[in-house]
Homo-oligomer: A and B are copies of this chain.
């Protein structure tokens, strides 16, 4: 089974609804089962995922419909990582003991305060506008030498999400003085710091991120 049938059907449905207006009906599950020469349960599996992801919605006894684009699932993480960053610059990186990196780091990564961490500070921009500054904390021992030499790849945080889980906290504060200039905003501007822990499926922390977001360039928005 190279790519499962239901994935192919999912892609085909996605193409078909691409140009359709919101709330227009799609073919019934039985029709598609015939059309795609698959069983109804297979078609259903494809539709289930599209509903889950916010592309379609069902109305019992009526049919399945194209959802409004604005409801395609969006979380701060995905928004932060995927869409609106066109570029980033690493401003600083270093290896330090967890307790020297910050008071809460060891706790968040569930390691001893003596354990070494890799700290990266990066500035994310979109069309030269500063979107956010991120402090990213890795556990040194879980990073190979080759990964260390390929920061670019290491910082592709999307990779961690595939088989991971996430907890995010939203902290209101005034922009820290050292970041005001970087974000090109005035001192004492209220901002939101998003603190993210990404873990493996079993709950072991992999990365901890503190993101300081420029409220004038990036509105944090979630859809579910």
Measured CB to CB, the residues of A under 8 A from B are: 22-23, 41, 52, 57, 59, 65, 67-68, 70-71, 75-77, 165-174, 190-192, 201-203, 215, 219-224
CB contact under 8 A between A191 and B172, given known A52-B52, A59-B201: yes
Which of B77, B173, B221 meets A167, CB within 8 Å? B221
**B residues in contact with A202, CB < 8 Å:** 22-23, 65, 68
Contact present for B167 and A223 (CB under 8 Å) = yes
**B residues in contact with A65, CB < 8 Å:** 201-202
Which of B169, B171, B224 meets A166, CB within 8 Å? B224
CB contact under 8 A between A172 and B192, given known A223-B166, A224-B75: yes
Number of copies: 2
5 CB < 8 A contacts A-B? A57-B165, A65-B202, A71-B203, A171-B215, A171-B219
Contact present for A71 and B167 (CB under 8 Å) = yes
Q: A171 vs B59: C-alpha distance in the bound complex, in angstroms?
A: 33
Q: A215 vs B173: C-alpha distance in the bound complex, in angstroms?
A: 10
CB distance from A29 to the nearest CB of B (A): 16
CB contact under 8 A between A220 and B169, given known A22-B203, A203-B70: yes
Which of B167, B172, B215 meets A70, CB within 8 Å? B167
Give 5 nearest A-B pairs by CB, closest first.
A68-B203, A172-B190, A170-B220, A190-B190, A172-B192
Contact present for B167 and A222 (CB under 8 Å) = yes
Contact present for B170 and A170 (CB under 8 Å) = yes
Closest to A58 in B: B201
Which of B167, B174, B201, B221 meets A170, CB within 8 Å? B221
**B residues in contact with A169, CB < 8 Å:** 219-221
**B residues in contact with A221, CB < 8 Å:** 167-170
CB distance from A73 to the nearest CB of B (A): 9
CB distance from A60 to the nearest CB of B (A): 10
Closest to A70 in B: B167
CB contact under 8 A between A203 and B171, given known A166-B224, A222-B75: no
**B residues in contact with A170, CB < 8 Å:** 76, 170, 192, 219-221
CB distance from A137 to the nearest CB of B (A): 19
